[in-house]
Structure formats: C-alpha cells, structure tokens
Structure 1
Amino acid sequence: MDSMIVLKMVTTFSAVVAIAIGALGAAIGMSKIGMAALEGIARQPEMAGRTFTTMLIAMALIEALAIYCLLISLVLIFGNPFIH
C-alpha cells in the first residue's frame, strides 16, 4: 500500500475514535448528572429551580468535551499538513 493511503486511513480512524470516545463520555456524564439532579429534586422539591440551573450549567460544561473532540477530529481530517 502507498504510505499516503495508510496515513489517510490512520487519520480517519483516529478522528472516528476521538469523536466516539468524546460523545460516549459526554453521554455517560450527562446521564449521571440528570440522574443525580432528579434524585435531588425528589428529596428536596423546594430546591428544584436551583438544582435545575446547576444541572444545566454542568451539562453545558460536559457538552464542551464532545465539541472539543469534534473540533480535534475535524482538524485531523481537514487540517493535517502531511496529507496535502
């Protein structure tokens, strides 16, 4: 095989793995935050507004992980200086 083809295959595989792990980690983290928030609201319904706000902020921070992984995979695919 040509070395450029192997480089493109490895780059594409790396990008796929990066976005898959990032999305999986974000999904697991968001589900645990949602579960904890629902348990907290069930225990103390009077704190539902504050708990919901804190949950949304935490979910936004975790979603940043998936966005960073998407950005890294796009850089791997389109910004790789060795492929051009």
Structure 2
Amino acid sequence: MNDLSWFTTLSTVAAMIGMGIGVLGPAIAMGRAISSALEAISRQPEAEKSILRTLFIGLAMIESLAIYVLVIALIVLFRNPLLEYLLKTKS
C-alpha cells in the first residue's frame, strides 16, 4: 500500500475511534440525567412539568456535544488538510 492509502485508512480508523469515545460521554450523561429526572418526578409528581422541561433542555445541550464530535469526524474524513499536504508533496 502506498502512503495515500495508509493515510486514508488511518484517518478513517481515527475518526471511528474518536466517534466512539466522543459519544460515550454524552451517552452516559444522558442516562444519568434521565435517571435523576425520573427519581425527582417520583419524589415530587406535582413538579413533573418543570422537571421535564429542564430535562429536555439539558438533553439538547448534551446531544449537541455528540453532534460536535460528528462534525469533527466528518471534517477529518472528507476535508482533511493533511491529505492535501500529502498530495502536494507527492506531485
């Protein structure tokens, strides 16, 4: 395999590992947030609307972290500046 093939393969593997690690944190945080919200609702059922509203805002903030990881991984895969550098040095 030539240098370009190795580089694209390693970039793809790095993007997959980055996605796996980067999504792990938000997934754990979402689970804990939902668990805490359900516990709070079971303690105070009359505050359900307030708790759910706060929960959904928090979940949206947590989900944005996973979306940022996805954007960075897509940049690494499809618009990698190091790939352009490697192509210029080859020619």
TM-score, normalising length: structure 2: 0.85
Deviation at 1:66, TM superposition (A): 0.6
Q: Does 1:17 align with 2:6?
A: no
Task: Indicate conservation of the 8 Å contact 1:15/1:73, yes or no.
Answer: yes
User: Aligned residue for 1:6?
Assistant: 6
2:73 maps to a residue whose letter is S
Other-structure match for 1:64: 64
Q: CA offsets per residue over residues 34-84 of structure 1, 9 Å max, x none?
A: 000000000011111100011001100000111000000000000112324
Partner residue, 1:26:
26
Identity of aligned residues (%): 39
Aligned to 1:76: 76
Relative to its length, the structure with more helix (as a share) is: 2
Q: In structure 1, how many angstroms separate the alpha carbons of the residues matched to 2:23 and 2:56? A: 18
Unmatched 5+ stretches in structure 2? 85-91
TM-score for both structures, normalised by structure 1:
0.91
Contact 1:41 1:47 in 2 (8 A): yes
Amino acid at match of 2:74: L
Q: Is the 8 A contact 1:18 1:73 kept in 2?
A: yes
- Tell me if the contact between 1:18 and 1:72 (Cα under 8 Å) persists in the aligned partners: no
Structure 1: tracts of 5 or more residues without a match: none
